[in-house]
Amino acid sequence: MSDQPTPNRPYDVVLYGASGFVGQQTVQYFARHAGAKVRWAIAGRNRQKLEAVKTKVGVTVDILIADSQDQAAVDAIAAQTRVLLTTAGPFALYANTLVDACVRFNTHYVDITGETPWVRQLIDRYHDRAIANGTRIIPCCGFDSIPSDLGTYLVVRHLEQELGLACQSVTAYFQAMGGFNGGTLASAFNAYESGQSTQFSDPFLLNPVGTKPAPNDRHQDPRSPRFDSEMNTWVAPFFMGPVNTRVVRRSAALFEQWATPYGPNFTYQEFFKLDEPGAWFKAMGMTAGLGLFFGALQQPGLRSLLQSWLPQPGAGPSETTMDNGWFLCELVGTATDGRQVQGLIRDQGDPGNRATVKFVCESALCLVLDFEALPGGPSRGGILTPATGLGEVLAERLRQAGMTIAVQVI
């Protein structure tokens, strides 16, 4: 095998799971934004459904067929493309063969998972092999966890470059409006049904072995609302925090291994920010609601009841809901001397669908169109994060795609 994906493969990107709810949106995104130079195809297990997507979007692209449980069929797809993008979850059920094929065929990989116990399995199985052949396997390229991970990276490097200072801590504050799709919910349900959810409580779940930092309260997941002096309002625990914080900590640990650390005893936390009027009441209500929801997930009977009420795989919010949604991520980075910088990532469109699709599609396009400029140079490989695998290149692509991404000294 060559050190990098061979350029004469017939496809630059294959979109796997293209008939799913989010998958169809990736097809629409590529049709509008990939450009004539990018050779792409769509893939999945049902040709009839893929043909319907192709007709609906109005694109002339090849269709590749592979059930995710058929390793030989998945191998045939991985061998034909430079990058494989998958939106078919739960990923612990449907993506093992995809990652395995990508590592063996030196095909770069991106997905939208938030299933950190499964990502831990990927690290244990494939990280060293992917390092050896320079394959970038980059999970968590959706709303979880690009704003957190890329935002933290940009804040930390801005502190270094503009003030010449190392970073002591970053805190992220989210606000968002949108809807859930059935695939995202199915991933959450599967994590609890498979018993993997017990790993969610480990704040360093994704860290390289032997890189657990010294104890610090800011490594723990917030469990209660509080008044935040930085934002001058009430904040609550963010339901995606147990995913995003693990990804950010992996980035920090990898950069430290590569001798470009974030800073001594670096810490990261994130919250959901509530606005007045009634910020205290909203924060209390959100915290209580999250507690009830995650408590119900731990009870098989209540979990089944929730599954019957909530959107099923393949279903999701209306086009209007997705278009009218939005998200805002504000980040405050504090240097070792107390000086601060502020980061901002914001976009129109609901985070779980519109933003996630933009994030993962632009991540794949980074690997195709900007490969030589990616952090670490062309030879970097492993089970990476958006920050360590894509970095500033992704930030610039997202800006060009209409997303607000900015960092400034406070």
Give residue 5's pLDDT.
43
Give residue 186's pLDDT.
66
Give residue 229's pLDDT.
95
Give residue 6's pLDDT.
53
Residue among 171, 155, 173 nearest 163 (CA): 155
Give residue 168's pLDDT.
97
Give residue 343's pLDDT.
98
Q: Where are the domains of the chain?
A: 11-143+354-391, 146-349
pTM, whole model, 2 decimals?
0.94
Give one word for 101, left, alpha or beta, with left for phi > 0 and alpha for psi -120 to 50: alpha
Give residue 166's pLDDT.
98
Give residue 358's pLDDT.
98
Contacts of 213 by beta carbon, 8 Å cutoff, 6+ apart:
204, 219, 265, 266
Give residue 2's pLDDT.
36
Which stretches in the chain have pLDDT values below 70? 1-7, 182-187, 197
Give residue 3's pLDDT.
40
Give residue 208's pLDDT.
96
CATH architecture of 146-349: 2-Layer Sandwich (3.30)
Give residue 187's pLDDT.
67
Instruction: Examine domains 11-143+354-391 and 146-349 and report if their fold is the same.
Output: no
Q: What is the C-alpha separation between 30 and 76, in angstroms, rounded?
A: 22
Q: What is the C-alpha separation between 184 and 111, in angstroms, rounded?
A: 12
Q: Helix (H, G, I), strand (E, B), or coil: what is residue 231?
A: coil
Pick the CATH number of 11-143+354-391 from 3.40.50.720, 3.40.50.150, 3.90.1170.50, 3.40.640.10: 3.40.50.720
